[in-house]
Structure 1
Amino acid sequence: MDREKRTDVSMADFLRSARTRLTPREAGLDDSGPGRRRVVGLRREELAQLAGVSVDYYTRLEQGRSRSASAEVLDALATALRLDDAERSHLHTLARPRPARRRRRPRPQRVHPATWGLLDTLQQTGHPAFVLGRRLDVLAHNALAGRLITDFRALPAAERNQARFVFLDPHARELYRDWSRVAADTAAMLRLDAGRHPDDPDLGALVGELSIHSEDFRRLWSDHQVHRRTTGTKDYHHPLVGDLTISYQALTPGDDPDQILFIYRTEPGSPSETAMRLLARWNDPAAGTSGVEAQVAGQDRE
């Protein structure tokens, strides 16, 4: 399939998925008329009316038979579909024509020394932190992030990937208390990356691997949802220190827009902060391992 055709199909799939997720009531339409609706979400003619385009034109867009969508039309569709900023940007990216080029692997990403220094500083202040790159590859993390999630440094380089961990590692389902939400967000982040780098053969191989080995990933990938992490919270059930809730912030370090630095923190004075401090001292000779083990064991008994 040539490059322009792949773009049309991707945009068509995204539009179709977004339309079926939006109910008439959410779109501000009256759905109290007689008879049962035979479609899930909005009808094509309803979306076309909301966006101010003809039904025939919108149908051609959704069937991948038109490459003429202007920025104004895309914005009108995004507004009618109630897309957020990440979804709106994704739609524009999918519709943007790119010159045909040979699929080749991009250069390996490198973490800047200043970012490594920041990871060390965050380690000293008790903050797990890690850097994700293209395809959600884990490029770097401090020791505390390795203890909280998993030590990606102990894995072969090809397996240091957040999506592979979430969908293929059994530990992830036990670690994340709301694994379903984490899985949906992970697939949506990967879908956003796929829109930006459609010619990345390593990303295609990753999606193929996950699709083969994870039914959950196949289902979520077919939803065509996209997500860009900025801030939020996440709940863990850690095998050593029990339950804890963290808040995170995502930043772009240096001059590589395809790198994201995640910084975790816990609420001061909370049980989660206590658990994080215990985790930071685990196997730390300066802290005294036996004392930490006793505190953790006591917490587990409670």
Structure 2
Amino acid sequence: MDIQLTDNALVIILFIAVLFILMRGVKVVPQAENWVIERLGKYNSTLEGGLNFIIPFIDDVRVKYNMQEQTIDIPSQRVITKDNVSIFIDGIVFIRITDAQSATYSALDVKQMISQLCQTTLRSEIGSLELDETLSSRDDLNASLMQALNNASNEWGLKVTRVEVSDISVPEEVQKAMELQLQATRERRAIETKAQAEKNAVIAEAEALKQKAFLEAEALERTADAERYQQEQLGIGQQLAIEAVNQAMQENPQAAEYLLAKDRVKAFSGLAESDSSNKIVIPVETSELLGSMSLIQHLLKQDK
């Protein structure tokens, strides 16, 4: 009876031992995690999410990595710019483990090394920039940091996805000097803007006067052209009249005497019709006047 109980206990012990060994050989890895497995102290494999099997007591889990994106805080540090201004700066680095084996065996502490590298890179980059450039070129500074960290971290089995300079603190006295400089810059721009506006107003006024003078000169020129054209047409009319008179005189010798007599009669009639009571019109060449009237009468009879 005792022998039978002993055998049953041995079987139960063996069963429990086998079950324990099997449980040690089965590994369920959570999603987004990688486990580094060593066999007898040497790297053997990397287990990914899901059900995995290892050899109990021979294979061992060296380290477990979360493959999700992680952040590393860069502690605030004092750096000096190119123009010898001391500032305080800190930031955040976003990383993702891409190779669990390299992250395990290529670096002792990946996060600590990234933090140290970021601090030294910040000091180097800020030292090549002036204060104004540091404050206004944050995007360029982030890009430079990310490139430098990626170049070094590729061998460590991780990738830097983003770098953000979170805060740049300037000493109080430097802040006051910057505010005074900014105020002076604004005042200078206001003066320059006012001067430019006055300059534009003077130019516009000069252009208006120039345009006015041009239009007046153009108007005078057109008036002169019109008067010249009128004089030319009048001269042409007079020329045609003279030619007509000459033609008439050639055809009728008495035409000149007719015209002269007509003008004399017209002039005498005008004097006679004057309202002046103290004037007496006495023709000097009465005989010639009578002769002219006779000539006119004779010509009128011929026309009939």
TM range (shorter): under 0.3
Higher helix share: 2
Q: Normalising to structure 2: TM-score of the pair?
A: 0.19
Q: Normalising to structure 1: TM-score of the pair?
A: 0.19
Structure with more contact order per residue of length (Cα contacts < 8 Å, sep ≥ 6): 1
Larger radius of gyration: 2
Higher strand share: 2
